[in-house]
């Protein structure tokens, strides 16, 4: 059974090109993170800081807002408290620790204190390895597009999915990165694509 999350050889080539060409341009600001982290947190200070660095590395601030601008770490932490099961929470916390351990192994320092380029260099290969999709035993069809994939590293898969989802559903991302209209009004089945065209955001895919 084909799984869309493994896509095609063409997309794999594209993926490689994207990774080769990727550069992390954003900076990780402890003060921004501290500002975002209000109220009672699930994660302890050290893990929360690593989470913030991971989120900032996955979706950095570039010419547009990044995960920290969208309060992703604090909202992620809230999901750990309010949404995740004990099992999922355990997977995620372990995956955060795993990334930090990787940084300590390679750089002798916590992931949270590394500069953006070094963080990117550590996380990018970890991302590629962790997100290989094993053959799914679940339903195909639409479920393949909406269900949680069978990643080799499910804990990291959760982190990536939650960071990305929280970012692209955030008000800053939907108003500055993508386009979003709550009530589009008219249905126009065909409009031209221009250099300014951005994909529409929202809860769907």
Q: Which of residues 79-108 bind another protein (CB under 8 A)?
A: 79, 82-86, 88
The structure tokens listed for 82 are 């309010």
- 8-state DSSP, 135: P
To another protein, the closest distance from the beta carbon of 109 in angstroms equals 20
- Binding positions for another protein, 116-155, rule CB under 8 A: 120, 123-124, 127-128, 130-131, 139-146
Pick the closest to residue 124 from 133, 111, 134 (CA basis): 111
Cα–Cα distance for residue pair 68/76, rounded to 1 Å: 11
Q: Which of 64, 90, 104, 134 binds another protein (CB under 8 A)?
A: 64
Q: Scan for tokens 């009004």, then name that residue.
A: 185
To another protein, the closest distance from the beta carbon of 178 in angstroms equals 6
Q: Does 57 bind another protein (CB under 8 A)?
A: yes
Comparison of 33 and 70: residue with beta carbon closer to another protein: 70
Q: Does 3 bind another protein (CB under 8 A)?
A: yes
Q: Does 68 bind another protein (CB under 8 A)?
A: no
Comparison of 14 and 45: residue with beta carbon closer to another protein: 14
What's the alpha-carbon Rg for the chain, to the nearest Å? 18
Q: Which of 98, 110, 169, 176 binds another protein (CB under 8 A)?
A: 169
Q: Are 122 and 34 in contact (CB under 8 A)?
A: no
How far the first Cα of the chain sits from its last, in Å, is: 22
Comparison of 18 and 101: residue with beta carbon closer to another protein: 18
C-alpha 56, offset from chain centre:
9
């Amino acid at each position: 059974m084909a799984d869309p999350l493994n896509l095609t050889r063409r997309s794999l080539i594209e993926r490689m090109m994207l990774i080769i060409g990727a550069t992390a341009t954003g900076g990780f600001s402890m003060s921004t993170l501290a500002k975002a982290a209000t109220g009672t947190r699930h994660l302890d200070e050290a893990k929360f800081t690593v989470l913030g660095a991971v989120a900032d590395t996955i979706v950095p601030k570039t010419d547009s807002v990044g995960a920290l601008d969208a309060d992703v770490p604090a909202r992620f932490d809230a999901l750990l408290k309010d949404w995740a099961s004990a099992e999922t929470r355990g997977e995620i916390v372990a995956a955060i620790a795993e990334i930090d351990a990787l940084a300590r192994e390679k750089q002798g320092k916590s992931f949270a204190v590394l500069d953006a380029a070094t963080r990117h260099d550590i996380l990018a290969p970890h991302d590629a390895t962790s997100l290989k999709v094993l053959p799914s035993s679940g339903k195909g069809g639409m479920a393949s597009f909406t269900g949680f994939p069978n990643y080799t590293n499910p804990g990291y898969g959760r982190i990536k999915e939650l960071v990305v989802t929280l970012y692209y559903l955030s008000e800053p991302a939907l108003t500055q990165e993508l386009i979003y209209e709550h009530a589009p009004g008219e249905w126009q089945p065909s409009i031209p694509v221009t250099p300014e065209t951005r994909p529409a955001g929202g809860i769907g895919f």
